[in-house]
Structure 1
Amino acid sequence: MEKKPCSSSLAVKTSHVLPPDTNYHGTLFGGTLMAHIDDVAAISAVRHCRKPVVTASTDSVDFIKPVKQGNSICVEAFVTWTHNTSMEVFVKAVTEDLLTGERNVCATAFLTFVAVDENLRPVPVPEVYPETESEKFLHEGAQLRAERRRERRAYSKDFANRFGTTYPWNK
């Protein structure tokens, strides 16, 4: 498979934040922003590998600034790193006050996707390479983030086994 630059997977989505998208405080629901993030990140991953993908993990989504009703929300994503069948995708969300033009980064996140075949079995993905300084910065830190994800996943599996499927959990 031929290597691809990070930029070839860029996906961007801009939406107007309307009243049904907002909470009691007039700001975008966090879950709505997370749905935008997963959607755009998945498009980026598919663009990179040209195969169906599944979300394997979402690292912490850090909400930095509120997104107010009437603003726009622009979610940008691109593949920063690949392993055999998986891809790390960086996502940045920018809110814009459409009346003043003021823009702020309102959230960032890393998601991991796995490319799959028609039987939902993992399949290989092309390598990715960075070109810009920002892409290189993200690419260089990816291995450490991947190790932390593996550790967190093992911890999550332990929690799942400990608590099981019944309540109360202390039975």
Structure 2
Amino acid sequence: MTTRAFDPGQCPVGRTLERVGDTWSLMILRDAQQGLTRFDAFEKSLGVAPNILAKRLAGLVQSGFLERRPYQDRPVRHEYVLTPQGRDFAPVLTALLAFGNRHFAHEGIAGQLVDRVTGQAAEPVVVDAVSGRPIDAERFTYAAGPAAGETVRQRVAEIEARRGRD
């Protein structure tokens, strides 16, 4: 049996998952969003083996989510700081948190976002920055962008054809 490597083509979801699509990378980004920067802090928080942590940190640096900076000279030690791209990933983690709380928190909410001033729990939603409307399937749909190749255009045509049959 042969294994075919995943090719995301022009799919933005596939391209993102290639870079952060494993549990450890997502959890490292969660911890980094919460202020962790040092190898030992990530290791303690996650309970991950050092070799796996080192590999995932290197991948997140290579993919542009984290920057590796020295914080000590003797011996040389590095910290991992979110880049602008890494900080831009925060809403994705927020969406995962909200989804997990809605669908998988069978014992109740263990972690949530709250308003710093009022302490009131937030109810995260994804909204269109132009109109301010919540993104939902009723109003919004996937469409080809200006740089779309034939595969993307075909996918959009198939989506439209399915919608026409419904």
| TM-score, length-scaled by structure 2 | 0.27
Greater fraction helix:
2
Which one scores higher on RCO, CA 8 angstroms, separation ≥ 6? 1
Which structure has greater strand proportion?
1
TM-score of the two chains, using structure 1 as the length reference: 0.27
